Amino acid sequence: MYRHQYRCGSTCELPAGKIVCVGRNYAAHAAELDNPVPEEPLLFIKPASAAVPLEAPIHLPAGRGSCHFEGELALLVGERLSNANPADVPGAIAGLGLALDLTLRDLQSRLKADGHPWEKAKAFDGACPLSPFVKLDWLPDWDGLTFTLWLNDEVRQRGKTGHMLTPILDLAAYISSYFTLEPGDVILTGTPAGVGELLHGDRLALQLEDDWLRVETRVA
């Protein structure tokens, strides 16, 4: 069963909660899938049952078509946020981590074409591999964070939080105007360009900054 972990090894008592995600938060990723840039953040939720440790081998759902990786910066919520102001957000974020927003892309395309919700394509069991979190005892430069995803030793995604259409603090505040964020909930902040299909045997590495966090995993 998945439990939140801190990278430093100190115990994380926060329960695994819902995972609130944003679609198309980087203009270059919206363009690569021929999607328009939304006027307001496009939100969806993965349940706690979607979370798995990022270090564990990834099991692709069988018979469900293509499964894409989307590397994303993840925020671990440490204090309740409801109708928050962006200024309230920094004190409520307990940790920074990395995540894969796994997406059954063929199924999502069909659901989108039919005007149906995306849940089956985005919220299935195992759809949210989560890294251990870097415990935030200090305030980072929220718009200056970078992360990188390698697929089979090739750089495929580079995210810079300064390129987000809705910056982190505004995004968390916006989310909290619809969904109260409880301690243990996670926010996925959107994926930069470079998403692609995962195949059996693929190796993935995700890294936050140069040396804050690095996690390697593979597709079973």
Question: Which two three-digit tokens encode residue 179?
Answer: 């969904």
Query: Among the candidate windows 35-43, 70-78, 105-113, 169-177, which touches Zn ion by CB under 5 A?
Result: 70-78
How many CB atoms within 10 Å of residue 130?
Answer: 26
Angle made by CA atoms 164, 99, 77, in degrees to the nearest 5: 80
For residues 9-48, which are near Zn ion according to CB under 5 A? none
Query: Among the candidate windows 59-67, 69-77, 171-179, 206-214, which touches Zn ion by CB under 5 A?
Result: 69-77
Q: List Cα–Cα distances, 105 to 48, 50, 84, 119, 122, in angstroms.
A: 21, 16, 33, 12, 9
Could you give the string, one character per residue 84-113, with x where binding to Zn ion holds by CB under 5 A and - elsewhere? Answer: -----------------x------------
Query: Among the candidate windows 75-83, 142-150, 173-181, 189-197, which touches Zn ion by CB under 5 A?
Result: 189-197
Between 12 and 21, whose beta carbon lies closer to Zn ion? 21
Sheet strands (E) in 31-160: 42-46, 51-53, 67-69, 71-77, 93-100, 103-104, 128-130, 134-135, 146-151, 154-160
Distance of alpha carbon 45 from alpha carbon 14, whole angstroms: 19
Cβ contact 69:102 at 8 Å: yes
Cβ contact 64:101 at 8 Å: no
Q: How many residues bind Zn ion (CB under 5 A)?
A: 3
Asked if 185 is part of the footprint of Zn ion (rule: CB under 5 A), the reply reads no
Asked if 166 is part of the footprint of Zn ion (rule: CB under 5 A), the reply reads no
Residue indicated by tokens 């810079």: 160
Q: Smallest distance, Å, CB 29 to Zn ion?
A: 8
Asked if 191 is part of the footprint of Zn ion (rule: CB under 5 A), the reply reads yes
Asked if 161 is part of the footprint of Zn ion (rule: CB under 5 A), the reply reads no
Q: Smallest distance, Å, CB 71 to Zn ion?
A: 9
- The three-state secondary structure class of 88 is helix
Among residues 19, 41, 70, 165, the one that binds Zn ion under rule CB under 5 A: 70
Between 70 and 185, whose beta carbon lies closer to Zn ion? 70
Between 7 and 122, whose beta carbon lies closer to Zn ion? 122
Q: Residues in the site for Zn ion, rule: CB under 5 A?
A: 70, 101, 191
